[in-house]
Structure 1
């Protein structure tokens, strides 16, 4: 059984990024959506995931607009593959003009 969580950190503020809407897609279909909590986390998205390619879309433009910060990235899209049964964690380290991600644990 594969499950998914995410965590967004604002690298400029050195703090969790609360209030970011994150949407999960499997192939072309939207599966689920959630909003990061005060700790920048969404503990579960999409329920049980079957093997395949997924995409998380982070609505970063609205987040930075609420912070009154200009950004180059109105959204960040992260595609990833679920190939085995395990928990998938996709962290996003965010700033107005850069981002990075990795397979978390």
Structure 2
């Protein structure tokens, strides 16, 4: 597998703009414990398509990737540069990778709420 099977982005729905410079961490559930796989910060488009360490999946067969994952967003880092204080200092999205399709995990964000969906 040549490309990371998991990507994400953040859109600030209160302004209609991407959320840049948000620290994000990717974890995998192994033996009931979360293992850090990679981390990064969103770019000016609010996206992470390349994590700081993509080596965790490069030598695995696609079916070996099937597991439970978590994407953790440090929202305080984003809201500190805005006049509106954050109600949610962080968000965690837990999901299962159960097939070989690409998994895009977007976060729609405002000062007092957030939502997500399975992206493409």
TM-score range (shorter-chain normalised) is: over 0.9
TM-score (norm 1): 0.93
Aligned length: 105
In the alignment, what sits opposite 1:8?
10
Match of 1:64 among 79, 83, 87: 79
Q: Does 1:44 align with 2:50?
A: yes
Residue by residue over 1:62-85, the C-alpha shift from the partner in whole angstroms, topping out at 9 and shown as x without a partner, is 110122321110000000000111
Bigger share in helix: 2
Segments of 5+ residues of structure 2 without an aligned counterpart are none
TM-score (norm 2): 0.82
Segments of 5+ residues of structure 1 without an aligned counterpart are none
What is the rounded CA distance, in whole Å, between the counterparts of 2:109 and 2:101 in structure 1?
A: 25
In the alignment, what sits opposite 1:35?
41
Larger Rg over CA atoms: 2
